[in-house]
Amino acid sequence: MSAAPTAVSARSINARLDRLQVWSLSPSFIAIIGLGFLFTFYDIFDINVSFIQTCVSLQKGCTPETALDALPLPVVLNLAGYVVGTLVLSPVADRIGRRNMLLVTMLITGLGSLYTAFSTDYLNFTISRIVTGIGIGADLAIVNTYISEVAPRRSRAKFTTVIFIMSALGAFFGIWLGLWLTTPATPWPLGLPFAAAGPGFEDGSRWMYGIGAILAVVAILLRFELPESARWLAQRGRLQEADKTVADMEQRALKKGSLPEVVAPATPQTSDDAEAALRGEDDQSSRTTTARTPQGCAPPPCPKGHH
């Protein structure tokens, strides 16, 4: 059944979404949503692969042999930023919308990566990692929320898993780009014979974070194409926008097969219904009490002074 219910309500919007059994947005949106996961794992392997060069250039007295001693602080604070972003920023999506917040979180992530690329000392580098972590933490949380609201109800885990594939691509990209830009040319298998780092090129780590900022810009531009979550729109009372979004999803789903009937949402009980039900319960209770009173027994006498 493809016709939408005449009366548009939040319940009818959710019921129409629940009957969709296939991915009903553009297939490219899966990759667009997953760019946050790609960036996350690119960023994780970026700092791990390139940090020796970063430390040598930013920290006085740092050498390749001692660089690992300076790595834990920015890594731990970066992960702390994940927690802050998840707990503080992701709830804002309930007020301004899932799509809008996905744009904001990727903007914060990109600015953090750009800040990292231009950091001039270890302190600024560490602060930039906190900023980046805040953006990434919030983005990952909102991506999961968005997927749970737009994916088919019975296939949400599958589409979440598909998006996680982007994280593997980010890790692969971060590792190999880091080896190419931040390590000297070394015969295989000890290194890459075509690696670019050396006396004439010592800013490979900055280029890596700059590439991260470019990835964030691309993600922002692509995310403008995402529709707002119809469930969120319905929850906020923007029923006409939600109805249009769901209608577009239904049309796309119809190209893959017929749609099941919409399960009519339960009608909320009115105050009159509630009062009638309560009166019925009182009557039933009264009848039960009367039936249990032994025949021939008089009612209890009134207290003295009361007639």
Question: What integer pLDDT is reported at residue 278 of this predicted model?
Answer: 46
Is residue 114 scored above 90 in pLDDT?
A: yes
Is residue 269 scored above 50 in pLDDT?
A: no
Tens digit of pLDDT for each residue in 52-98? Answer: 899 988 988 899 889 989 999 999 999 999 999 999 999 999 999 99
- Quickly count: other Cβ atoms within 10 Å of residue 159's Cβ: 18
| Residues 196, 179 contacting (CB under 8 angstroms) | no
Q: What is the DSSP string of 229-247?
A: PHHHHHHTT-HHHHHHHHH
Both tokens of 129, joined, read 């990692």
Mean pLDDT of 147-173: 89
Q: Between 215 and 301, where is the model more confident?
A: 215
Mean pLDDT of 43-47: 87
Question: What integer pLDDT is reported at residue 96 of this predicted model?
Answer: 96
Question: What integer pLDDT is reported at residue 138 of this predicted model?
Answer: 94
Q: Which of 62-76, 183-197, 250-264, 281-295 has the highest mean pLDDT?
A: 62-76
Question: What integer pLDDT is reported at residue 265 of this predicted model?
Answer: 59
Domains in the chain: ranges and CATH: 22-226 (1.20.1250.20)
Which residues make Cβ contacts (< 8 Å) with residue 224, sequence separation at least 6? 103
Tell me the sheet residues that pair with 128: none
Label residue 1 by pLDDT band (50, 70, 90).
very low
User: Rounded to whole angstroms, how far apart are CA atoms 90 and 169?
Assistant: 25
Mean pLDDT of 273-282: 46
User: Rounded to whole angstroms, how far apart are CA atoms 107 and 292?
Assistant: 72
Q: Kindly report the CA angle at 73 between 70 and 78, in degrees rounded to 5?
A: 130
Lowest mean pLDDT across 133-142, 227-236, 282-291:
282-291
Question: What integer pLDDT is reported at residue 5 of this predicted model?
Answer: 45
Q: What is the DSSP string of 138-195?
A: HHHHHHHHHHHHHS-GGGHHHHHHHHHHHHHHHHHHHHHHHHHHHSB---TTTS-TT-
Mean pLDDT across the chain, nearest whole number?
84
Both tokens of 125, joined, read 């580098």
Which residues make Cβ contacts (< 8 Å) with residue 294, sequence separation at least 6? none
Which of 6, 25, 5, 10 lies closest to 262, judged by CA?
5
Tens digit of pLDDT for each residue in 126-138? Answer: 999 999 999 999 9
Tens digit of pLDDT for each residue in 17-44? Answer: 999 999 999 989 988 988 888 988 898 8
Is the pTM here over 0.75, yes or no? yes
| Residues 162, 148 contacting (CB under 8 angstroms) | no
Question: What integer pLDDT is reported at residue 189 of this predicted model?
Answer: 81
Is residue 271 scored above 50 in pLDDT?
A: no
Task: Evaluate the CA torsion angle 49, 52, 57, 59 in order and state its sign.
Answer: positive
| Residues 137, 85 contacting (CB under 8 angstroms) | yes
Which of 88, 196, 70 lies closest to 141, judged by CA?
88
For helices 156-182 and 122-150, give the axis angle rounded to 10 degrees.
Answer: 160
